[in-house]
Amino acid sequence: MHTDVVRQGRLRGDRDGSIEDLLSSMTADREIAEADIEVDIAHLLMLVSCGILTSDHASPLIRELLFYYKNGVPKEAFHPRFEDIHAGIESLLIEKVGMDTGGRMHAGRSRNDEVATCLRIKTREILLDQIEALIDLRTVLVDTASEHVHSIMPGFTHLQHAQPTTLAHYLLAYEEVFSRDNERLYQAFLRTNRSPLGAAAFATTGFPIDRGYTARLLGFESISCNTMDAVASRDFAAESLAAATILMTHISRLCEELVIWSTSFVRFVDLDDRYCSTSSIMPQKKNPDVAEILRSRAGSVLGALVSAVSIEKSLPLSYNRDLQELSPHLFREIIPVSRDIRLVSGMIASAGFHTDRMREEAERGFSTATDLADHLVVNYGLAFRAAHNIVGRAIRSGSLSLEALDDASCQLTGRKLSEQGLSGDELSRVLEVNQSVAARRHPGGPAPAAVLDAVLHRKSVIGKDTAMIQEQKERIMVAKEELMDTAERMVGS
Ligand code: ARG
């Protein structure tokens, strides 16, 4: 049975299962085990390069760590007898190579900076994966939009038919939403990508370490400078969860619409069977379960955010063990987000949109009444409010016929619009949905010309975002390769 080498100096007595259970962070530590190997290797390389450790002492440790890296951390390292994976790995190493060598690894650091570094390595990787998934989703939205530039659909406010728009305009709205989520995730990534290593317990160390070197070896952009802050702060976790919560809120809204759109009374969309379930009793049922679960996920992610900030609030500087309780909330909720995003992409890409139904609904509910009011302003000299009133009164009477408009206009101005030249043909033209959409060609509007401009613009934004994220991924990948190559060279394999 391996003993916990961290505990054995100062403390005595076996702990019973419930204490071990409470104190151990092993469940969440499974997520950072690989990062911990990288951190151990980087720390050892730095100790050697700074003359704190000989390569004779470092090599057996690095050799063992490289073995873990290739074959996975041995499962004994995860036993709850160790408070965490850091103690587990160190204990196993000491057992393997002896105290005189293994016991040298932890010089000049603490588990406090070690865990903060591991958490940041794992979190930045998750953030980059989320951003990649989001870029794919945005691409699906733009591509689908470009197929539906002329697909007229009703736009809603208050979930009431409002004005005609196009499916392309709707899809591009979500692309812009997700592009802001992309920015938020990227900002969270930039602030996460700073190395706490070398902060030690909180006051750094008297050993002549090199924080910049370990930061570079681990592919960080810079160090998280103040050493108290470096071990005490988890705002990178809160920020990542906040960005995920906002993103999942958007996914929830989109999924809510897919649920509504797939009802038989709306029937705007047919979701692919893969994304649906049936009923165990009602054989006819096709339920949009994936969209429903995704709609609910925003609540779970928000729960994790609330837990994280509630745990961090009121903690005095610097490290407190409470912080350990935060990590499971972080990973539990940010890890599945990339999967969620990819499911939305698949659902949209495979959906069948009923553009005939959309068009039918776009013509309902006097959806072009605003066009008529505007027309009366431009061509008949009315104030907008007067025109709004005339059209509103006519609708109240049940129709937008020339007679109804004449009646309303007589009541309000004492004059009939037909006497001023308004004809039935002109009225039909103004109320026609295609012209209504075509007229709205300001930047960001639904007119086909504006939408085609937007498609081009969004594609170029997506292109830039892709390049940025590929560069960051590449940097981290290269650093990891170099770290392992340097380690291999030291052990001479
Ligand atoms: N498992 C701990 C955590 O997640 C690692 C740091 C332990 N530090 C300590 N002083 N006990 O926070």
DSSP letter assigned to residue 83? S
CA–chain centroid gap for 409, Å, is: 53
What pLDDT digit, counting tens, does each position of 393-407 carry?
999 999 999 999 999
Query: Ligand 1 test: best mutation among 36, 84, 123, most atoms within 8 Å of CB?
Result: 84
pLDDT at 493: 64
List all residues whose CB is within 6 A of at least one atom of ligand 1: 25, 84, 111-112, 115, 319, 321, 323-324, 327
| The pair of three-digit structure tokens given for residue 78, joined into one six-digit string | 């995860």
Please report where in the chains the tokens 């570079």 appear, as a residue: 216
Instruction: Using the atom order of ligand 1, give the atom closest to the CA of residue 321.
Output: 12
3-state helix, strand, coil in the chain (%, to 5): 65, 5, 30
Q: How confident is the model at residue 1 (pLDDT cuts 50, 70, 90)?
A: low
Give the model confidence (pLDDT) of 405-431 as tens digits: 999 999 999 999 999 999 999 999 999
| Protein residue whose Cα sits closest to atom 11 of ligand 1 | 321
Among all chains, which residue has been given the structure tokens 């308004």?
422
CA 151, CA 166: separation in Å to the nearest integer?
5
Report pLDDT for 12: 83
Closest atom, ligand 1, to C-alpha of 85:
1
Compute the average pLDDT of residues 17-45: 95
Phi-psi sector, 155: left (phi>0), alpha (psi -120 to 50), beta: beta
The whole-angstrom separation of Cα 408 and Cα 406 is 5
Residue 480 has pLDDT above 80, yes or no: yes
Q: What is the pLDDT of residues 225-265, one digit of tens each?
A: 999 999 999 999 999 999 999 999 999 999 999 999 999 99
Question: Which amino acid residue places its CA nearest to atom 3 of ligand 1?
Answer: 324
Report whether pLDDT(8) > 90: no
Encoded tokens for 337:
């987000």
Atom 1 of ligand 1 has which residue's CA nearest to it? 84
> What's the average model confidence in pLDDT over 39-67?
98
User: In the prediction, which pLDDT does 283 show?
Assistant: 95
Positions annotated as catalytic residues are: 158, 279
The pLDDT value given to residue 2 = 60
> In this predicted model, what pLDDT tens digit does every residue of 430-467 receive, in sequence order?
999 999 999 999 999 999 999 999 999 999 999 999 99
**Beta pairing partners, 162:** none
